[in-house]
Structure formats: structure tokens, C-alpha cells
Structure 1
Amino acid sequence: MKFSLPVVGAMTFAALSLTACASDDAASGDLTVKASDSSCKISSTKLDAGPSTFKVTNGGSKVTEFYVYADGDRIMGEVENIGPGLSRNLVVDLPKGTYEGACKPGMIGDGIRETITVSGDPAKKLSDSEELKAAADSYARYVKSQSDALIVKTEEFVTAVKAGNVDEAKKLFPIARTYWERIEPVAEKFGDLDPITDGREPDAIAEGVDFTGWHRIEKQLWVSNNTEGMDKYADQLLTNVKEIVKLGQDAPLTALELAQGSKGLLDEVATGKITGEEDEFSHTDLWDFKANIEGSQAAIASLRPVLEAQDPALVKELDTKFKALDAELNQYQDTSTGDWKFYDELSKDQVKALSDAVAAVSEPISKVAAVVAASA
């Protein structure tokens, strides 16, 4: 996950980019976002309430992202990992209000922002669909079960860290993170809470902020083999985890956010786990890898009745490719203990095979949000 700069800094950056302007004409049909290393041109910044599709094209030299933020930097929708010359779609269901669209060249900082105004009543209200309500409720129950376990295991991990019990803390680190990774789309909604809880050291260095959270403690455990100075980070981690769980229960994911989240979890694998950059000190990436996939599968399971009604062929394809991905990954787990092989023990060919299996699922899962948006 990435750290974000204060909003004031992001607005200054946007103001300096004179090319980051957009048309204020009322939106009709899909929207285009032309991103570059120094600009973010949204085809319309005045939208009608309801589902909108942003087609984001990266004309720059850096990998970029596009976000739609509500007040407090709550994420309404995001699309990551858009390489130079590539395009990706983001479907967002926006009620009346004021938002910000943000391109993030280099995938760091708050990026280049543009205000988006949404007015009127939606022509179709996704929230009124009984099928989509049922999907969201089903996933909320899954999140509740995972959140309860996350708090318990994080408390155990923090207790071990503060007691200086290095071996126990190392054992609990990947276990606690399993529950975190399964429900990470929930955490990603809430501004800076996710990056200060799960941010990586290079992102912190790049943005001049303190390196905190899971990975700060991970580094101390595996590099220094002790827990010296970690009490404050452990306490902060537990506080943040509890806050994210509370916020997630107060504002559960909608069906459309759930569809976007199922893709986002696979993007997490493709950008962090598959490179070994996520758990760079412990090399426990495969624990996270499996948890992200399970979270994505849980999201699709909640949406399954809607998808089967709208696009049964897509459901069949997802089932086939998730099964292949599971088979490719599960060979690295010791079924007698539940432990996974450390990531630095995999060969280049094995990593490539995993990467290919993830990519095979990513393509059909990218279609889910559009099916959900069309189902109301």
C-alpha cells in the first residue's frame, strides 16, 4: 500500500499542473481520463448521480493510478497499475455530492486532483436492487468474521512484540496478516489509515514520513531479530486495525465496491506479492498471496447470484481460472502444518507460473464491476 501526502500538498501539486484541467460539460455515457506524468484530464467534471465508467488511459512514462475520493479521502473507487500506453476502466456508483478524481503518476502521493460535482437522482439506483443488497450483506458477514479474527490475532501479535518474544511474534506475523489481507478493500476506503498500517519502507522514504505498521515491525523482527523500540509501533498498529474494523462496519462495501475490491485484491498480488516486495524482510508473501485470493473469491461468491443471472459464461470462466490458480499456489503449502514456503525459495520459473495464473484470473474479473453496474 502507498502513503499519501496531506491534501493541501496534493492540491498545490494540482494547481501547479496547468494542463490538469477538464471539461465541465455534463457527462453523457462513459468518461475518459487522460493521464500523463504531469496531468490528469477528466472529460467531464459535472456528472449525473448513479454509475459512471471512467476509462483511464496512461499517456505518461510512469505507471499510474486513478482514484475517486469523497470527503476525508474516503475512496469511492480506484484502479491501480496502469502501465504506460495502457487503459483500464473504473466503474463507480456516485450519489449526489462533491468528489475528487486523482491521477497518481508513479503510484505515490495524493497526485493530481480535479473536483467532480455529482447532481440529481440516479436513473437507476444500484442500492435499491434486492440482489445487490443481498450480495453486500453476504460480504458484510464475511468481513465481520474476518475482522473479529483479525483483532484477536493482532492483539496476540502485539502482545508477543511488546513481551520481546521474537519467535512467537514471527510465527504470528503471517497468521494475523492473513485476516488483514482477506479484507483489505475495506481498509483501502479510509484515506491514510491503510498506508500507515500496511505501507512499505520505500514509499515512506519517498514521501518523507515515518515508516510504521506491519512492515516496520516485520523489519525489526527479521533484520535485527529483536523487538527493541517496537512498543509504540505495536500499539499504533492495534489502534489502527481496530479503527479500520469499526469504520468498515459503519460503512460496509456496496456491491459495486465489492466488485472493484475483488479485482483490487488480485492487483495486490500482481504488484506486491508476485514481486516479493510486500514482505521483503520475512518472505512470508505466500501467506498474503493466498489470503488476497481467498478475499477475492469471497467477494465473487457474494456476487455469484447476480453474475449467474447476468453472465453465466463469466461465472464459469472465473470458476475455471480460480481453480487453476489455487492448484498452482497450493503446491507450496505444507498441508500438515498450514505453513507456506518462503517466497525467496521459489525459482524464477515458479514465480512466472504464479504470475501467469494471476493474470489469467485478472482478465475475467475485470469485467465483474460492469456486470454489477448493469444489473440494476
Structure 2
Amino acid sequence: MWDDAFPSFLIGLREGLEAGLIVSVLVATLVRADARSRLPQVWTGVLGAMALSLSFGAVLTFTAATLSTTAQEAFGGFLSVVAVAFVTAMVFWMRRSARNLSGQIREKVTGALAMGAGMLIVTSFLAVGREGLETALFLWTTARAAGESAGPLTGAGAGLAIAAGLCWGLYRRVLRINLTRFFTATGIVLVVIAAGVLAYGLRDLQEGDVLPGKAALAFDLGGSVDAGSWYSALVQGVFNLTPAMTWLQAVAYAGYLAVVLTLFVRGTRAAVGTAANRAAPQGDRGAARQPEGGVAAGAPEQGPAGDADLAAPGEGRVTARQAGESVAAGVPGAVPEQGPAGDVDSAAPAARQPVSGEASEPAPEAVPYSRPGAPQQTPVSSRPPRRRPVWVVPVAVVAVPAVVAGVVVAFSGSKPAGAQTIAVSETECGKGFRAPEPGRQTFRMRNTGDKASEVYLVDPGSNAVYGEIEGLAPGTSRDLVATVGGGTYAWRCVPTGGKAVTSAPVRVSGGGTTRAVTPVSESDLAAPLDAYKKYVADGLATLATQTDRLAADIQGDDLGAARADWLTAHRTYASLGAAYGTFQDFDKKINGRTAGLPDGVGDKDFTGFHRVEYGLWHGRSAEELRAPAEQLAQDVKDLGKAFPGQDFAASDLPLRTHEILENTLQFELTGDADQGSGTTLATADANLAGTRELLDVLGPLLDRRDPKLLGTVHAGVDRLQKLLDAAHQDGRWTPVDRLDAGSRARLNGATGQLLEDLAPIPDLLEIRKAA
């Protein structure tokens, strides 16, 4: 919770201080102009802006709730990008305007006073409303990124409270703040935070299928970074950085920071230089600049460095008469004139308000004028004008945004049309289920029992699954979105430690056909698992022979042969990729990298293939390499003995079809795994061979569920194989860092596309409990 509070705290503090300064200047200007009676108009505009901001947040929340999961990702990603644009514009605008903020607001107040009550309400409404809408959008975005609202709302509330205290201190002249420095420092931090929001938003757009490349990872630190640790949570909460990021996210994050921070810092330096050139002499620092034709009354005084100081009410008040304003006295129909301090005198002397310090005189009674000889007109009886109740306008400006938001939410609905609430428990499943309309439907699943439960929407005849929710906790509700066509539907609930319970079936007519996934059981995966375990066992036997030969080469001081035999053995090990998780600690001993080792390549725990590779290609002697090579050969033999008794889960097979090439994209195709041999593309080729083997053993199961997918995957495998073959000429592999930019881009693109093609396989072949 607290990890997600800081970005919202900073937004609340900045936006709150910005809006608070505006309100303070408005209030101080009216107080000094002896126009306290106009203060309710300012507060009316402020209340309206707050109501609009809250209503905007409500509309965002309920609108997102009505969308499908994919549409929610796209909607949230789009608004995240919009929020970044707003925040970026805001930090640049405030950096540029902090020094002249009070003067700009005074001009707006002066114009508003001359045009009447409505304009003063509009002025305060627009000034505060912009900050409120930006805050609402950014809070909604950060809350969605955090997956909870308590932290962001708490942080924003604390920031707004501190901003209110600072503005009060400025207004009472007990504080002085260098606004330029404050908004510059917080602006830099906000740019960094906004970069993370941009990366998160782009990931949402990828998940929502708006942008491509969701499987093309730039890095994945999940194996070396504990995502549940306090430091990882802090980085994710504050900066929206995750252990795994796609290439689009990484490039956008780095590019945004490089461009925006450079422009921001460069603009800040230019502003400081300009301020230094324009600074008044030392004896004049802090003197108020006189606006043209008037006096500086009732607004924050700013020195050249951007210090803000709001004058306390009643200090230094200058009346309209003292300012030397002229009044259009005695001129029929004259428009009221406004002095520079904001006082308003009516055109007719009888209606002029007394200036501070003058006695109030009753206005003389108006006498109708008539021409000589003209017929006398009957005087019209003067009735006191009907006054509008003072509460009407404040209530209207607060109620209108709320009513509009309510109408939007009501018409969109907090749940999609046709949504049903379905009860789940250990004894009954699908209570409240009725035949839905054809089309995309959202079902609200509510666990009323005492145990967590798996929930499936199934065809009771074939057990095919249309949708599922995993681990629905007791007392909680979640939405299940599924496309309903013609056919028979039922709910199947599998409570933890209990037996499956199936609801009564319902029949849906019309709507065409819809795709369902035939469930996979452990027995279905038993034959593929046995076939693959035999493949791994044979591979380990071959590997033992190859590593013995490698050790013998080094023992005989034939390092040239050792380099060739090293590559052969390492390719054999790489082709067994689906079993890495099963190998347990042996994988670290046999194929471990230097990541996380304090002494890098010199660390005592750096062993295996990459330790021998480093020595062979960095001029180490045979004497130095004998012990690592012999240890490698012994570890391979020990793994071969242990493998038959190791726990190889059948559910790992579908997952590995995707994970092998994910590692290839992260390590081999970046060159990160290279310790000098320049053969990472050879390893990538072996990884692809291991993926082919998995597709062969899983092919019959996939073919029955999605034959088109299998054809697409094989085409992608062949495309990637051709690109790898092009890097293998005359028995030598081109180092990945020596590929030309076009070849490297095509290789990465083909791997990323193949990963997207492989992505559905884990879902298609997931073992579903009693489904």
C-alpha cells in the first residue's frame, strides 16, 4: 500500500499547491480590494471544480468496470498515456509560469470583477478545475497500476493536506517558498514517475492487443529479483518498473526520460539565467512590481527568484480613490469602472459604494424627468427585485457534474447488460444462473462458501471450457467474461480439497458457435511426458560422453579440440531446455552464469560450461581449466543418475514451449550469455531444436484443440530456423554482436513473433481440476 502512495502524494502536493496558490491569490485580491462580499463566488467556483473532478474519477472507474478484460487493458493503457501527456505539459507549464503566476491571476480577477459574479465563478472554476481533472486522471491511472486504491488515495490526501497548510502559511505571511525551485525539483521527480506510467500504459495497450510485441521481452529479472521483496515492491510502486519489460516499454521509458528530462533541465537553466539578468538591484529586491495603471494590491509578491509571499488581509490596502481612479459620475448608462485594486464603483454617484474610511450616505430618491408640455406618465410602482436564494448557484455547480456523471454511469451500467450474479460454494454451484443472451457476457461470480474454489463455465456434454476463474476466495467476487453462442452451458465448481459440483445445464439458442477448450488432464499429458523424459535421458547419456571428451582434450592440452567439443556438448545441453526446472540445483552447476556472483568470473561458485568457456576463449592454460572441466563432467554424470527420480511435472511441458525461446530472446540473442566464444546463436539454434521436440510430443493434443495454431507455429519455427542457418557459414557461427542491424532486427522480430504464436499453448493444455 505505502509503496504506491508516493507518486500520488507528489501529485497531490504539486497540484494542491498550484490550485491552492490560485485560490489564495483570488481571495487575497478580493480582500485587499475591499470586495469580501464576492468571496462566496470564488468558493462556488472551487466547489464546482471539485465536484467535476470527483465525477470524472467516478466515470472513469465505472466505465472501466463495464468493459471486457482486454478492453479494460486497452482503456487503461490509453488513459495512462493521456495522463503522461497531461503531467508532462503541467510540469513544463509550471516551470515557465511559477514566477509570473500571481500577476496572471490578478489580471483574470480584475477582468472577472468588471464582468460580474458569473465571470468570477467561471474564473475560479477553470483555474482549479484543470488541476482537479489532472489529479483525478493521474490518481485513477496510478490506482489501476497498483491494483488497489488505498495507497494512492492516502498519498494524494496527505499531499493535498500539506499543500493546503503551505498555502495557508503563505497567505498569513508566515512562510516563504521559492516556487521556481520547488516546482523544478518536483518536476524532475514527476518526469521519472511519468516515464514509468508511460511504460505501464504501453504494456496495457499490448495486453489489450492494440500494440504488438507483448511477448518480445527486453529483459526478465524474475529469476534473480524477488518480486515480493520490499525493495522490488518499492520500485514497482514508485516508478512502475517491473522485473520483466517488453522492448516497447524499455525503449519508450528510456526515450521519454532522455528527451523530456533534457528539455526540462535545459529550460530550467535558461529560466534561471533570464531571471538573473532581470533581477533588480539588491536594495530593490522584494519590492512589488506595479502593474500598468494600478498598484500591486492583494496578490502574492514574487522576487526575481520566484519567492511567493501572500500578503495578510488588511495590510497595505489601497482604495480606489487613493489609486486615483476616475468615476463616470453623472453619465447616464455609464459602465462601472474598476480601479487597479479591484474596487468597483457604479456609474451613478447615488449608487456608488463607499470607499474604505468614508461615511455611508443614503442615495437620493430618483425623480422622473419629463419634457414641458408632455403628458404626465403614471409612475411605475417600484417593487423590490426578487432575489435568487444564495444557495442556488453553489448547489447547481456542485450538483450538475454529479448528475451528469450519474447519468453516464447509469446508461453505461456498473455491469454490462445481461450480467448475472452467480453463487459458488462447496455444496451448490451456479445458483442464480439463467440462460444468457448470445454474445459476449459478463458473469459476476460470488463465493458464498468457506473454501477457495476453481470455477468453470463448461459444456456439460463434452466438458469443454468456455471460461474460468482460478482460486476464487471465500467472500469475494470476480467477473468472468465469456462469449456465449448456441449450445448447452453449466457451471462447475471445484472447491479446495473438495469434490466438483456442477450446476443444472441451460440451453442457449441462436448466436452461432463459440470456441471452447477441451480440458486436459494429467493422464492426457502422461504419454507426451514419458516420450519427453526418454528424450532427456538419452540426451544426458550423450552429454556425459561429450563432457568426458571435453575433459580429456583439456587434460591432453589440446585446447583447439576442446573449443570444438565444448560447443558440441553445450548445444546438446541447450536442446534439453524443457527439463531445466526439473534439474534443480544441477542446472546452476552445469550452466550457471555470473549474475548475482559477487566476484563475477573469478567467483568460486562460477562453474560449468560458462566457466570452461571463459577460460578457453580468454587465454587460460590447460592446467587452470582441468579442474573446472572435470567438475563439469562429474556434475553431468550425477545429473544423469538423479534424473529418473526427479519430479518432472506434466504441466511443465506446455509452459516450456514458450519459456525456452523467452530465455533465448533475453540471453542468447542479446549476447548476455556469451563468455567469449561468440556462439550464442549456436545455443539459440539448439534451443529451437528443443522447442521442436516439445511441439512434436504435444502435437496430437494441440491438433485436436487448435489445428490452425499448430500450423502457424511450425511456419514460425521454420522462419526462425532459416535466419539462424544464415548465421552459420562454413562451420562457423557469426557472433551476435557482429550481425548487421537488419539481420539482427529480423532475428529478434521472428523470435518475438514466434513467441506470440506459442503464447496460447499453455492455456490450451492447462490441466484443469475436474473440468
Category of TM-score, reference length = shorter chain: 0.5 to 0.7
Alpha carbons of structure 1 residues 245 and 370: separation in structure 2 relative to 1, 3 Å = farther
* Matched positions, count: 282
2:629 to 219, 234, 244: 234
The answer (yes or no) to whether the contact 2:678–2:735 under 8 Å persists in 1 is yes
The answer (yes or no) to whether the contact 1:198–1:213 under 8 Å persists in 2 is yes
Alpha carbons of structure 1 residues 309 and 286: separation in structure 2 relative to 1, 3 Å = same
- Structure 1 CA distance, aligned partners of 2:552 and 2:761? 41
Deviation of 1:119 (Å): 5.8
- Structure 2 CA distance, aligned partners of 1:203 and 1:262? 27
Match of 1:357 in 2: 750
- Structure 2 CA distance, aligned partners of 1:241 and 1:164? 22
Query: Which ranges in structure 1 are unaligned for 5 or more consecutive residues?
Result: 1-16, 20-40, 44-56, 68-79, 87-92, 94-117
Alpha carbons of structure 1 residues 174 and 127: separation in structure 2 relative to 1, 3 Å = same
Deviation of 1:364 (Å): 1.7
2:739 to 346, 350, 356: 346
Residues 1:281 and 2:682 are matched in the alignment: no
1:264 to 645, 659, 675: 659
Paired residues for 1:278-317 under 5 Å: 278-317=673-712
Rg larger in structure: 2
Match of 1:168 in 2: 561
Alpha carbons of structure 1 residues 351 and 245: separation in structure 2 relative to 1, 3 Å = farther
Alpha carbons of structure 1 residues 255 and 364: separation in structure 2 relative to 1, 3 Å = farther
Match of 1:82 in 2: 244
Per-residue CA shift, 1:293-326, capped at 9, x if unaligned? 0001100110000000011121011011111111
Paired residues for 1:114-133 under 5 Å: 120=497, 126-129=521-524, 132-133=525-526
Paired residues for 1:126-145 under 5 Å: 126-129=521-524, 132-145=525-538
Residues 1:65 and 2:460 are matched in the alignment: no
Alpha carbons of structure 1 residues 189 and 144: separation in structure 2 relative to 1, 3 Å = closer
The answer (yes or no) to whether the contact 1:204–1:210 under 8 Å persists in 2 is yes
Structure 1 segments (4+ residues) deviating >4 Å: 121-125, 206-209
Match of 2:474 in 1: none
Please state whether the residue corresponding to 1:201 is helix, strand or coil.
Answer: coil
Alpha carbons of structure 1 residues 135 and 81: separation in structure 2 relative to 1, 3 Å = farther
- Structure 2 CA distance, aligned partners of 1:313 and 1:146? 31
Match of 2:548 in 1: 155
Match of 1:35 in 2: none
- Counterpart of 2:591 in structure 1: which amino acid? D
TM-score under structure 1 normalisation? 0.65
Q: Which has the higher strand share?
A: 1
The answer (yes or no) to whether the contact 1:186–1:252 under 8 Å persists in 2 is no
Alpha carbons of structure 1 residues 255 and 176: separation in structure 2 relative to 1, 3 Å = same
Deviation of 1:66 (Å): 6.8
Match of 1:371 in 2: 764
The answer (yes or no) to whether the contact 1:199–1:215 under 8 Å persists in 2 is yes
- Structure 2 CA distance, aligned partners of 1:244 and 1:258? 20
Deviation of 1:274 (Å): 0.3
Alpha carbons of structure 1 residues 349 and 297: separation in structure 2 relative to 1, 3 Å = same
Paired residues for 1:326-337 under 5 Å: 326-334=721-729
Deviation of 1:161 (Å): 1.9
Alpha carbons of structure 1 residues 211 and 126: separation in structure 2 relative to 1, 3 Å = same
Please state whether the residue corresponding to 2:222 is helix, strand or coil.
Answer: strand
Deviation of 1:206 (Å): 7.1
2:597 to 204, 209, 212: 204
Match of 2:573 in 1: 180
The answer (yes or no) to whether the contact 1:217–1:230 under 8 Å persists in 2 is yes
Match of 2:609 in 1: 214
TM-score under structure 2 normalisation? 0.33
Please state whether the residue corresponding to 1:294 is helix, strand or coil.
Answer: helix
Task: State the identity as a percent.
Answer: 22
Of structures 1 and 2, the one scoring higher in RCO (CA 8 A, sep 6+) is: 1
- Counterpart of 1:120 in structure 2: which amino acid? G
Deviation of 1:289 (Å): 0.9
Per-residue CA shift, 1:30-59, capped at 9, x if unaligned? xxxxxxxxxxx999xxxxxxxxxxxxx999
Out of 142-151 and 266-275, give the one that drifted further: 142-151
Please state whether the residue corresponding to 2:618 is helix, strand or coil.
Answer: helix
The answer (yes or no) to whether the contact 1:160–1:168 under 8 Å persists in 2 is yes
The answer (yes or no) to whether the contact 2:651–2:767 under 8 Å persists in 1 is no
Alpha carbons of structure 1 residues 305 and 81: separation in structure 2 relative to 1, 3 Å = farther
Per-residue CA shift, 1:96-124, capped at 9, x if unaligned? xxxxxxxxxxxxxxxxxxxxxx9637868
Deviation of 1:139 (Å): 1.4
The answer (yes or no) to whether the contact 2:592–2:606 under 8 Å persists in 1 is yes
Deviation of 1:344 (Å): 4.1
